[in-house]
Amino acid sequence: MHANYPRLGLVALALALAQTALAGAPAGLPENASARLSGSLTLVQAVPGRTVDIRIDGRPVRRAADVGDVVGPVRLSAGRHTVTFVSPGEAEVEAAIRVNAGGSRDVVLHRPAVPAGRPVVSSFRTPTGGVAPGRARLVVATTASVVPADVRVDGRVVFTNIANGESARTQVEPGIHRVTLVPSGLAGPVVLGPVDVAVAPGTVTVLYAVDGPGSGAAIVHTLALRPGGGVAPGRVDTGSTGLARDLPVRQFGGG
């Protein structure tokens, strides 16, 4: 295996941990009143074999980002911002990104579907709506030079036909999930993985499939979510008029 690509699962976990450490200050979602006027961007460098300087509105935010580097979340005022990726000896790649108030978005520099093509920028809105208690959200995006893929989580196909620059999301139970991408409609060969992704309750975990030798690589990062969907049901109130008061009830089976 290539030196830059140790075990994929470990890369994923290490990046997730690095991200948690890095995100000490603005850890994902805005909470205060001023947050209504701002949103956040997370910048992801997903082009193998390049070091990239990243600027937002001309201001440097990261020098020499390697493949797999996740920068941010960077808090920005709501509105349009320009994100620029600069690589020595290569043309600049620039994208105008709209930041929504209270929203969170990933901006990813990655290879296009055609392997020889120049790097492109895709932006993915992070689904930060609440999840049900005891659940977590998993987002999988294809940012590798591959054909449209089906995403398997723990062996089951949960998304079909995700093309380069597209993403899909689902709710999962917290824990370790094994993610595999295969060409759409086929059993193989594997495009990515399997990658083991640790998913914590009440979080959204975003996985980017990236070009790499063999079965590709993954970049993973995580944001906390607001609780949603209510608490676990403690009371069920399903009667009102008393019409059924004299009806017999047949009971059977285990409690």
Partner 1 sequence: MAVPRTLRAFAPAVVLALFLGMFAPGQGEDPVPPQAPRVVRLPSGAEVPVRTVGTEPDGELRVPGDARSAGWWRGGSRVGDASGKTLLAAHVDAPGQGLGPFAELYATRPGARVVLRSEDLVQVFRIRSARLVPRGSVAGRPGLYSLRGSRRLVLVTCAPPYDARHGGYRNLLVVVAAPTGPARASR
Q: Which residues bind partner 1 (CB under 8 A)?
A: 132-135, 150, 156-160, 170, 173, 185-187, 229-255
**Residue in 215, 211, 234, 238 with CA at minimum distance from that of residue 68:** 211
Nearest residue (CB) to partner 1, 100 versus 160? 160
Q: For the chain, what's the residue count? A: 255
Nearest residue (CB) to partner 1, 60 versus 185? 185
Residue 166 CB, nearest approach to partner 1 (Å): 15
Instruction: Beginning with the edge strand found earlier in the chain, give each strand of the sheet holding 175-183 in spatial order.
Output: 156-162, 149-153, 175-183, 192-199
Residue 16 CB, nearest approach to partner 1 (Å): 23
- 10 Å CB burial of residue 137 (0-12, 13-18, 19+) is buried
Residue 122 CB, nearest approach to partner 1 (Å): 22
- Taking the C-alpha atoms of residue 36 and residue 39, their distance in angstroms, rounded to an integer, is 8
Nearest residue (CB) to partner 1, 5 versus 159? 159
Residue 207 CB, nearest approach to partner 1 (Å): 16
Nearest residue (CB) to partner 1, 79 versus 134? 134
Write the CB contacts of 141 (distance below 8 Å, at least 6 apart in sequence): 108, 122, 124, 162, 165, 166, 167, 168, 206, 207, 208, 209
